[in-house]
Structure 1
């Protein structure tokens, strides 16, 4: 007999957040599987009590690991199985891994009431354009997301997670935001409150918590480009706006890219990449202490917590970083060949964009290409001139011509 497995979203946990479809299935299944909280919640329902009175209690298996559930289900003789998942099966759910693990079964997904829908309705907030994320074990570029959205929803993890979030937002001077915090949603001890991040959370926070972060003044720019004048500069060289635009476009960045900005200077390239998308992970590599301080200041100014500053000399400091998908080389300190070999050792398919002002750097790049015929190369020279006012006239002032070299291995 083919096994039929239902992946059931049980809402926040209390019986009142179960859908009618979920209730009907839970009255019939022979086996119920889930993490301890899910199973405990089910065993506190009227469904469980009804089945207990009728002598038809299902077999219960407490587990959340997809591979262990796969082995358990394979050994079952029963044909109807329910796997309980928190919230809705379509958002931050174990359903994704279970669908892959249980390909040998007839698997059906039963949607539940999501935490975001529940909390938003309690707070009388529409969530149709809300940014959704989870902070379980990661900051997930939450500052960047809050910076660009009026409302950001996040699932929280840990008993001090609310104050940790307040501290992180304060680090980026985001004092204008407020938190709508929901704890133990749907349970008798449910609590929903609005918190000022400067005051923080008082009392003992519950572990079952979620938050809607409200930013009354989000960044509303559509192109997400940054003017040169907006960067904190100092005496460190900076890649100018027009060159940044062309160089970043040549990187052909993808969603969830991991990007190095080597020789970051003020961090203008890395910060603009991180600013464009909180889903891109950026590493700004720089050896100059003055430049490092400028990158820190610009990181805070533009709220790009998805950018990590790495102090040191490439290629040595690249060894401990995750494999990149894209790399911008703004400065190589004469180590171009070693840096590229290190990058391609970590990921042979990394796309590299190199900026060169000095002819010596261009000559190094040409020699490197000769040694590697597998490289698909594009070289362009960019000359930018900007108008300045002299009396009643406008004169064009030229910036240094720059070579933009793109490398991708076949």
Structure 2
């Protein structure tokens, strides 16, 4: 078995005295101590061991740790190192077989205990070093959210997002320095939030309450068309739902959205699960702005946006698990590049509305098979004082799984 030379010890606001005997022993036996200024300050003033303080970028500090592989090193962390913590980052670089990880209660566990909320029935997220617009995709009537803050300003930012979204009546509870002698709880509502004297170390609990008449945005594919800003290049709601079902997003998988338009397909792919990833490729400059605006408004700010025309813009992108082609199917060489890029078992879905596009899809179908489907949607619209059916442009969809 690999020697466990690296230990990661979670510490609460009660400091070293709150640690178990095993955790204290790991700290005492270490030759090198790693941590932020706050954690290193918990050590005795006469502690002469080598210290490594986290610096930006954090990869530099991780390289310092790896260079000392074999020495006894202890990393001091906040709460549970494997809950949005440094432990997650370190396990991406160092085998867990070389580590001992001792967690303290996480911020989420402490907050649940204070509020009496079941931790398995709440939504948890971190806004620490992450875009605040991530919050958008977690908001729905009755949701209970536990949020890791970036600092003292995060509660006000969250309150503003909730209010603008139509959830101004939501109850906000800010929990400061949980587990220590300076613990404090501040309560209010999103629309009336005005508290400015907030400790930098805080967590936010939100009980989401929708204003009267506010319609929730579903998590399932097929958001209302008016949820998007666009110039007409929008995969309509019904077709979008069918397309996402064909793409079959799975947590952790990567989508290429080729000819992304306003980004609706990649955005709803990302909304299906927090671990999904997507790249939107678009050449039209005004549509690129639509994609960015829609991604922020709908809680998917991590959507990667690539400027360029396929197939040239597809070079050097990470290997996708699924590809959607919503525009430019007639571009020379596009299918070959997409097909080669896909993982075995990967899915390719293409939608077209033109005869030329259909001809291209038929040629691709002749090469590798798959299924061709014609999607025809009619919506009831006023005709004078009556209602009549207005047909949307029929969409031909090709779906294929790479063997």
Counterpart position of 1:10: 11
Counterpart position of 1:392: none
**How far has the Cα of 1:124 moved from its partner?**
3.8
Counterpart position of 1:123: 115
Q: Does 1:160 align with 2:150?
A: no
Aligned residues: 383
**How far has the Cα of 1:296 moved from its partner?**
5.7
Q: 1:142 aligns with which of 135, 145, 150?
A: 135
SS at match of 1:147: coil
- Aligned residues of 2:5 and 2:69 also touching (Cα < 8 A): no
Counterpart position of 2:58: none
Q: 1:276 aligns with which of 269, 272, 275?
A: 272
SS at match of 1:136: coil
Counterpart position of 1:34: 34
- Aligned residues of 2:128 and 2:150 also touching (Cα < 8 A): yes
For residues 236-277 of structure 1, the C-alpha deviation after alignment (integer angstroms, 9 at most, x for no partner) is 375455533332222232324444545556765445434433
Counterpart position of 1:198: 191
Partners of 1:3 and 1:288 lie apart in 2 by 52
TM-score (norm 2): 0.72
Q: 2:51 aligns with which of 36, 61, 74?
A: 61
User: Which stretch has the larger CA shift, 137-146 or 195-204?
Assistant: 195-204
SS at match of 1:363: helix
Q: 1:226 aligns with which of 218, 222, 225?
A: 222
Give the direction of change, closer, same or farther, for the CA distance of 1:103–1:367 in structure 2 (3 Å limit).
Answer: closer
Q: How does 1:21-100 map to 2 (within 5 A)?
A: 21-22=21-22, 24-25=24-25, 28-31=28-31, 33-37=33-37, 39-43=39-43, 48=44, 59-64=49-54, 65-74=61-70, 76=71, 81-99=73-91
For residues 102-161 of structure 1, the C-alpha deviation after alignment (integer angstroms, 9 at most, x for no partner) is 549753221211111123323343322222222222227221023377122222224533
Structure 1: stretches of 5+ with no match in the other structure? 389-394
Give the direction of change, closer, same or farther, for the CA distance of 1:164–1:226 in structure 2 (3 Å limit).
Answer: same
Q: Does 1:20 align with 2:13?
A: no
Counterpart position of 2:384: none
Counterpart position of 1:336: 331
- Aligned residues of 2:377 and 2:394 also touching (Cα < 8 A): no
Counterpart position of 2:106: 114
- Aligned residues of 1:179 and 1:214 also touching (Cα < 8 A): yes
Partners of 2:389 and 2:96 lie apart in 1 by 69
**How far has the Cα of 1:286 moved from its partner?**
8.1
User: Which stretch has the larger CA shift, 207-216 or 139-148?
Assistant: 139-148
TM-score (norm 1): 0.71
SS at match of 1:380: strand
Give the direction of change, closer, same or farther, for the CA distance of 1:299–1:260 in structure 2 (3 Å limit).
Answer: farther
Counterpart position of 2:358: 362
- Aligned residues of 1:38 and 1:84 also touching (Cα < 8 A): no
Max Rg structure? 1
CA-atom RMSD in angstroms: 4.7
SS at match of 1:354: strand
**How far has the Cα of 1:378 moved from its partner?**
1.4
Give the direction of change, closer, same or farther, for the CA distance of 1:231–1:111 in structure 2 (3 Å limit).
Answer: closer
For residues 332-370 of structure 1, the C-alpha deviation after alignment (integer angstroms, 9 at most, x for no partner) is 3x753366577679x554743111232211213345678
Partners of 1:224 and 1:125 lie apart in 2 by 26
SS at match of 1:128: helix
